[in-house]
Amino acid sequence: MNRRNALAQKNYSSAQERDDAEAEKNVAQAELLSARESKQVAKLELAYANAQLGLRVIHSPIDGIVTEQLMYPGKWSKSAVPRLQF
């Protein structure tokens, strides 16, 4: 920008060219800021999705192998009915 201003002051470049360059610089800076904000939003959305996933994953307090699944997603269960057999 400094070079454009110097050229415009010496009448080697028009004021219109200087203004156009200034406008392009401002647009580029705005796009950069927007991209940085989008990146930050994406990071926050990823963290939120990972937190939501963590709430939906069941971890067993014991080691073992499930030999039979007695219930499947979407079925209603009563508290006394076994759901898995080890």
pLDDT digits (tens, 9 = 90+) for 58-74: 877 888 887 887 777 87
The answer to whether the beta carbons of residues 49 and 32 sit under 8 Å apart is no
Q: What is the pTM of this model?
A: 0.52
CA–CA separation, 4 and 22 (whole Å): 9
Residue-wise pLDDT tens digits, 2-18: 666 666 666 666 777 77
d(CA 38, CA 31): 10
